[in-house]
Amino acid sequence: MWSWLQRRPLLAYLAYRTLALTWAFAPFQVYYLQRRGLSVADVFDLNVVFCVAAVAFEVPTGMGADRYGRRVAMSAGGFVMSLACLLFIFGHSFSAFAAANVLCALSMSLSSGADSAYLYDHLAAQRQVSLYPRWEGWSTAAKGVGNLVAVLVGALVYQYVHPTAVFVLTALTTAVAGVIALSLPERATAHEGHVADHLRRAFHTLRTNGRLASVVAFGAIAFVLLRLSLFADQPHLEAHLHGTWLQHTVLTMGLLAAAKEVGTALVAGSVGSIFARVRSRTIAVTLGVGLSAAYLLMGEAHGTLCIVLMVLLASAFGVFSPLMRALMNRLIEGPRDRATLLSVEGMGRRLLFAATSPLFGRAVESSSLHATFSGTAWVAALAFALLGAFAWLAFRAPAASATSTAPRSSQPAVASLAR
């Protein structure tokens, strides 16, 4: 089995992405933590703990992936998530769950950036970098399929076996993912320099490359909207479900999460053909307008329409993740600090999420859910409009040095990503 994986690195990579579950228990998290004595506001405060930890870990883990190897970072991410699950199983206080969130943040930081950088560099070494958007879409689809199975099984296990059994299954699955990551072939990528050196180069790149900075800012705003919509699932369902459905909230949340993963996987799987036909800037504008409109509609609508919009918002992850990774990889100059720069991008989006999550959670508790969504929609629309003006100026200016390390023969295909 090990030798078979080593001979098929791209299939092994897809297997890793399928099994590297990040927060497979997220659909039940609010419900689970409330049963352990936490309030909705406490859960949103845990998002702050997660985001602050993720910000602290992002650059060191990205630098480590650049220095010691991407597969090592990816493997460690799987095993750390297994440890986080143990804390969720035995924890009974805010501090225990905060520690679990810190481990979840470390796990995600070890994997995010490193997995995308590994895929891009592997395809570049095979002179197939023009296929990167397609493989990135397939890897996101694979992750969606893994999460789909996880939430369906998790809902049944949570309801009919025991809530903590969900975390046991997640721990075992992510440990297997860590083992698979170790089978991936990779050349040594050691680089000299300290964290400060990597940070200095990364922020210098962002200061001098307006195109890259605008992509990072867009990702931060869109990510916040997508993530907030996921954590609003339970109050949304409780506002729109009645009778028998309300008595089986966990199963309903599982079905909703499964529908979201199906949408994400289907969209992500077709990303390659979407990118071949539509300019990425058009996709980005459509995504920004769509997210703002969805929040506005969810603030006004009731019943089934809200649930449909929730599924559509989650499906947007299928476009968002490949789009961001493709644009970032295209605009990063070389492989040396690729994972570090991708980590800086993740750091920015999580800082913004850390600032908005407690505000959103308290608005939900102190005001109506619909008013919170409507207000968020108008703030998001204003933010996207200001960013659009900055991006228009940045993309009109000559590129600082947004070169690619890909072979010359594949430049036209890759260059189309930045259009």
Identify the structural domains of the chain with CATH numbers, from first to last.
2-184+194-418 (1.20.1250.20)
Instruction: Read off the pLDDT of residues 355-394 as tens digits, 9 standing for 90 and up.
Output: 888 888 788 777 777 788 888 899 999 999 998 888 888 7
pTM: 0.63
79-117 exposure pattern, b = at least 16 Cβ within 10 A, e = fewer: bbbbbbbebbbebeebeebbbbbbbbbbbbbbbbbbbbb
Say which residues have a Cβ less than 8 Å from residue 21's Cβ, sequence separation at least 6.
81, 146, 147, 150, 170, 173, 174, 177
Interatomic CA distance for residues 232 and 249, integer angstroms = 14
Say if residues 20 and 74 touch (Cβ distance below 8 Å): yes
Interatomic CA distance for residues 131 and 124, integer angstroms = 9
C-alpha atoms less than 13 angstroms from C-alpha of 75 in its C-beta half-sphere: 14
Interatomic CA distance for residues 44 and 362, integer angstroms = 8
What does the pLDDT average to over 338-345? 76
Tally: H helices and E strands in the chain: 21, 0
- 385, two tokens: 């409009």
Is the model more confident about 242 or about 321?
A: 321
Interatomic CA distance for residues 173 and 254, integer angstroms = 18
The mean-pLDDT minimum among 133-142, 267-276, 293-302 falls in: 267-276
Largest CA distance in the chain: 62
Say which residues have a Cβ less than 8 Å from residue 6's Cβ, sequence separation at least 6.
12, 183, 184, 185
> Which residue in 90, 294, 65 sits closest to 195, CA to CA?
65
Looking at this protein, which amino acid is placed at residue 279? R
> Above pLDDT 90, what percent of the chain?
12
> Which residue in 259, 271, 292, 256 sits closest to 387, CA to CA?
292
Instruction: Read off the pLDDT of residues 129-176 as tens digits, 9 standing for 90 and up.
Output: 778 878 888 888 888 788 778 877 887 888 788 888 888 988 999 999
Decide if pLDDT at 21 tops 50.
yes
Instruction: Read off the pLDDT of residues 25-54 as tens digits, 9 standing for 90 and up.
Output: 666 777 788 888 888 788 878 888 888 888
Interatomic CA distance for residues 275 and 329, integer angstroms = 15
Say which residues have a Cβ less than 8 Å from residue 389's Cβ, sequence separation at least 6.
none
- 356, two tokens: 């908005």
Length in residues, the chain: 419
Question: Which phi and psi (to 5°) does residue 8 adopt?
Answer: -130, 70
Say which residues have a Cβ less than 8 Å from residue 151's Cβ, sequence separation at least 6.
24, 27, 254, 257, 258, 261
> Above pLDDT 70, what percent of the chain?
79
Interatomic CA distance for residues 80 and 110, integer angstroms = 9
The mean-pLDDT minimum among 43-47, 86-90, 338-342, 372-376 falls in: 338-342
Decide if pLDDT at 406 tops 50.
no
Place of tokens 């506005």: 296
Say if residues 55 and 350 touch (Cβ distance below 8 Å): yes
The pLDDT score that the predictor gives to residue 371 is 84
Q: What is the mean pLDDT of the chain?
A: 78
The pLDDT score that the predictor gives to residue 394 is 79
Interatomic CA distance for residues 179 and 159, integer angstroms = 30
pLDDT band of 403, cuts 50, 70, 90? very low
Instruction: Read off the pLDDT of residues 182-222 as tens digits, 9 standing for 90 and up.
Output: 888 875 454 555 666 767 777 777 877 788 888 899 989 99
Say if residues 373 and 298 touch (Cβ distance below 8 Å): yes
